Chain A
Amino acid sequence: MWSLSNIAANIDLWLNEQVGATWAVVLEMVIAGVAVIGLFATLGLVLVIMERKVSAWMQIRLGPNRVGPKGMFQSLADTLKLLVKEGMTPGGADKLLFNVAPFVAMIVAMLLLAPLAFAKDFQLWDLNIGVLYISAVSSISVISILMAGWASNNKYSLLGAMRSGAQIVSYELSAGLAVLAIVVLTGSLRISDIIQAQENGWWLFKGHIPAIIAFIIFIIAVTAETNRAPFDMAEAESELTAGFHTEYSGMKFALFFLAEYANVFIVCAIGATLFLGGWMPFHIGNWTAFNGVMDWIPSSIWFFGKTFALIFLIMWFRWTFPRLRIDQLLNLEWKYLLPISMFNLLLVTLIAIMGWHF
């Protein structure tokens, strides 16, 4: 059967025959790097046009409709425009930090791709502390925002960066606790183990109500962590014009923009992996025929389908809700989400110890 893992295995085999084991590893790394960059570029284009269409339809508009069929090439045209635009560096800016910040944002997003399983047996790096790695690396993303905000020499940028710092540090906690619930249920930090444990049902369904609560908290927390509305404190265009990227233009701005969408994709992919079984098809108990049909759909389709469903959910939030105030945002985390997720973790642990989950 056609699958991504077969292709990867064939390439590996062919390279090993042609150039030997050492060079094969080097070439494979290059291929993986190019694939990641290609994936990011495609994701940027797809997610931008998706967001624009989703927002347009929710706002009873048509959305982009001039470039290409139904405006589908609009984001491509926008990218071209951003590429040829001059990347300004403001006079009083800290030039090094200002120019490095967008790349830091991108690199963090790229690093996060490593442990994700895009399809059955198709993973860049199946390390044994996958979940820990993800929460560790994702907290670096705040550095890029702080760098951008500080180096811009702009008060709006600084305010946005400081808000973002307070916000991401707070919401890391409840996101981490929500992820921990799944780790407790699985008993492993390895991504492939977590997916394997959901072979007979996704954790969202197997873990009773605590898993659902953990899922909801996870979605809220990652929405905040990726600076998406209603938690877009760092940008808050009606308050801080554009927050930390006020002074950025051209491709440097585009990299921030791309990193935001890449981060959205990654956190949704993590959510899909942990709670919705990653590439695991949807199985119901012992309905063999139904399960057979589900197995027939390629695993990469399952993964991307689940991820995009979660991305749509996050976009749906963005185009419905007003923004919170900064103190309300922190209240929500420390007075509601954190106590609930701590209590929830206890419940999950109880369920895991007693073996009450399916």
Chain B
Amino acid sequence: MFLKKYIQDIWGAVKSLATGMKRTGYYFTHHKEIITQQYPDNRDTLVLPERFKGEVVMIHDENNEHACTGCTACELACPNATIKIITKFDVDAETGKKKKAIDTFVYHLELCTMCNLCVEACPTGAIKMAQTFEHSVFDRSQLTKTLNKPGSKIRAGVE
């Protein structure tokens, strides 16, 4: 009886090991199952999900105009003080009225956690998340970015 159990143990053990080896052997011979994703060198054809949160950018149209009013809602919404908005007062040439506008939209990528709260908070849809993913630079100062392009101004009609 002892001997029977002894042999049964060995048989069961060998069988379970062979099952595992059959599985790895299957994958060894079936290369179409390979799931490795290579580094995205195919930058031209690469499609990332549109909601992918890579970095905050400001949307500019073809006239170099954006929709940022400088209301600092994003600055308040940001948990890490990633965004700093410096405002100025534009003087309207015709009416002579002063109007608040952004001077620089400073964005600290090194502090950003891509939480998307600023984009949610923006009342005019001026900023969005871009699908970039290679953020490494040689100097930390390069990560502090100005989001509004030089010479850009607020689109007419955006309040």
* Direct contact, A vs B (beta carbon within 8 Å): yes
Taking Cβ atoms with an 8 Å cutoff, the residues of A that contact B are 54, 57-62, 65, 316-317, 319-321, 336
> Closest residue to B20 on the A side, CB-wise?
A320
Among B26-34, B44-52, B144-152, the one that faces the other chain is B26-34
| Closest B residue to A322 using CB positions | B20
- Distance of A57 Cα from B34 Cα, bound (Å): 7
19 sample A-B contacts, Cβ–Cβ < 8 Å, listed by A number: A54-B28, A57-B34, A58-B24, A58-B27, A58-B28, A60-B27, A60-B33, A60-B34, A60-B35, A61-B34, A62-B36, A62-B38, A316-B21, A319-B24, A320-B17, A320-B23, A320-B24, A321-B17, A336-B10
Q: State how many angstroms separate the Cβ of A223 from the closest Cβ of chain B.
A: 12
Interface residue tally for chain B (C-beta within 8 Å)? 15
A328 to B23 alpha-carbon distance, docked (Å): 24
B-side contacts of A316, CB under 8 Å: 21, 24-25, 28
Chain B residues within 8 Å of A, Cβ to Cβ: 10, 17, 20-21, 23-25, 27-28, 31, 33-36, 38
User: Residue of A at shortest CB range from B6?
Assistant: A336
Give Cα distance in the complex from A317 to B31, angstroms. 19
A58 CA to B21 CA in the complex, in Å?
A: 10
Q: Closest A-chain residue to B31, C-beta based? A: A57
- Bound complex: CA of A65 vs CA of B41, how far in Å? 14
Q: Which 9 A-B pairs have the closest CB atoms?
A: A62-B36, A58-B24, A320-B24, A57-B28, A320-B20, A61-B36, A58-B28, A320-B21, A60-B35
**A residues near B35, Cβ cutoff 8 Å:** 60-61
State in angstroms the CA–CA spacing of A62 and B23 once bound together: 18
A127 to chain B, nearest CB (A): 37
Distance from B134 Cβ to chain A, minimum over Cβ atoms (Å): 18
B24, B25, B33 — most chain A CB neighbours (10 Å): B24
B residues in contact with A319, CB < 8 Å: 24
Q: Chain B nearest CB: distance from A315 CB in Å?
A: 10
Q: Which residues of B contact A317 (CB under 8 A)?
A: 21
Q: Chain A contacts of B10 at CB under 8 A?
A: 336
B41 CB, min distance to chain A CBs, angstroms: 11
Q: Kindly provide the distance from the CB of B34 to the nearest chain A CB, expressed in whole angstroms.
A: 5
* Minimum CB distance partner of A312 in chain B: B28
CB distance from B23 to the nearest CB of A (A): 8
In the complex, residue of chain B having the shortest beta-carbon distance to the beta carbon of A230: B17
- Note all chain B residues with C-beta closer than 8 A to A336: 10
Evaluate contact between B20 and A321: CB separation under 8 angstroms: yes
Residues of A within 8 A of B21 (CB): 316-317, 320
Q: How far is the CB of A132 from chain B (nearest CB, A)?
A: 30
The complex places the Cα of A336 from the Cα of B9 at a distance, in Å, of 10
Q: Which residues of A contact B34 (CB under 8 A)?
A: 57, 60-62
Contacts of B24 in A (CB 8 A): 58, 316, 319-320
A57 vs B33: C-alpha distance when bound (angstroms) = 9
Q: How far is the CB of A54 from chain B (nearest CB, A)?
A: 7
Q: A60-B27, A65-B38 are in contact. List 19 more A-B contacts (CB 8 A).
A: A57-B27, A57-B28, A57-B31, A58-B27, A58-B28, A59-B27, A60-B33, A60-B35, A60-B36, A61-B35, A62-B34, A62-B36, A316-B21, A316-B24, A316-B28, A319-B24, A320-B17, A320-B23, A320-B24
